[in-house]
Amino acid sequence: MNILTSKVEASRANEVDATNIQFGKSYSDHMLVADYIDGVWQTPQIIPYGNISISPATTFIHYGQSIFEGVKAYKNIHGEVAIFRPKDNNKRFNISAERLAMPHVPEEIFVGGMKELVALDSDWVPNQDGCSLYIRPFMFAIDEFIGVKPAEKFRFMIITSPAGQYYNKPTKIYVQDKYVRAFPGGIGFTKAAGNYAACMLPMLEVKALGYDQNLWTDGIEHKYIHEIGTMNVFFVLGDKVVTPDLSGGTILAGVTRDSVIKLLKEKGITVEERPITIDEIREYYYKGELKEAFGTGTAAVIAPIAELYYDGQTLELPPVDEWQISNWVAKHIADIRYGKVEDTHHWMMKVK
């Protein structure tokens, strides 16, 4: 794939304070831009990071044809930079694109462009333990037209931002039984911008009550568990690991979720993907069998849950340092990423 590259005159990489990285506050020297016009992807360009200029009539601002992904690159203990499972993010991006009547982004642009961008800005990948370069691919409709119709022109971009060690303070979770994130037939399985817009008010409301995040439930009975904010959810019930299945089209198919399931199964732990109700979780809790509960996602990787609030009751989880399963899987994923154990699944894609 031909990519036109115009480099910055002087890198800003040395301006980042490696001991105090604030997520999402600084962006690396370059970004990738590719436009889709008349049914054809134009030659991608890697250019200095900076503002873009668009018409106020640009369709995505008004009607929200806008999707994104979240990926991370790591510097391993041998000093090599590698991206975690980018092809899986490309596949999911194209699933989101289809549902929002947007074009697929081919692998040579999505993955190939990402590799070139990260290779060029490899000085921006922090090398301390637990740190990474967060990669944000996204696409939005750029027709200059305010009638409501599927757009014809689109822009795909990738920006990157250094991410520090994520301190996973066990979270307090509110089981949401008023608002709905996703409904069968809707766009819950996509990383569409609008899904997050709809969650902002419920997020503010539960924060005001002292909780960190919502645990979303189904929109019909508010009984079946879906997922947390931007994370999939797992429960350790007795000696089994249980997570909601993806068949309803209301849950985002996390790459971290898939990685956790594969690693646990490989270790001989029973993992069930099936519908789970909040009542079942409560029953296990009162039997003393709710052992661990955690969210999974690219940003936090494994986020332990300290307590679940539901309908006037608080279910408190045991202390996190006693958790066998999630602590093992969190460490194992980190060891794969930093090259400390063999990457038997070929999840790490080296950039050079």
Ligand X SMILES: *Cc1c(COP(=O)(O)O)cnc(C)c1O
- State the residues that interact with ligand X by CB under 6 A: 70, 191, 227, 230-232, 252, 254-257, 296-298
Query: Of 252 and 329, which has the nearer Cβ to ligand X?
Result: 252
State in angstroms the smallest separation of the CB of 74 from ligand X: 15
State in angstroms the smallest separation of the CB of 191 from ligand X: 5
State in angstroms the smallest separation of the CB of 249 from ligand X: 13
Query: Of 63 and 216, which has the nearer Cβ to ligand X?
Result: 216
State in angstroms the smallest separation of the CB of 146 from ligand X: 28
Strand 132-141 relative to strand 171-175, pairing? unpaired
Q: Which of 122, 88, 106 lies closest to 352, judged by CA?
A: 122
Whose structure tokens read 């480099």?
7
- What is the CB neighbour count within 10 angstroms for residue 227? 26
How many helices (H) and strands (E) the chain has is answered by 8, 19
Residues paired with residue 71 on neighbouring β-strands, in sequence order: 135
Strand 66-68 relative to strand 313-316, pairing? unpaired
Residue 121 zone, left/alpha/beta (φ > 0; ψ -120 to 50; rest): alpha
- What is the CB neighbour count within 10 angstroms for residue 203? 18
With contact defined as beta carbons under 8 Å apart, do 349 and 255 qualify?
no
H/E stretch holding 1 reads none
Query: Of 70 and 113, which has the nearer Cβ to ligand X?
Result: 70
User: How long a stretch of residues is the chain?
Assistant: 352
State in angstroms the smallest separation of the CB of 86 from ligand X: 11
With contact defined as beta carbons under 8 Å apart, do 73 and 83 qualify?
yes
- What is the CB neighbour count within 10 angstroms for residue 344? 9
State in angstroms the smallest separation of the CB of 299 from ligand X: 7
State in angstroms the smallest separation of the CB of 150 from ligand X: 23
State in angstroms the smallest separation of the CB of 70 from ligand X: 5
Query: Of 68 and 145, which has the nearer Cβ to ligand X?
Result: 68
Tokens of 263: 């690693």
Q: What are phi and psi of 334, to 5 degrees?
A: -60, -40
Q: If you ran DSSP here, which 8-state letter would residue 13 be given?
A: G
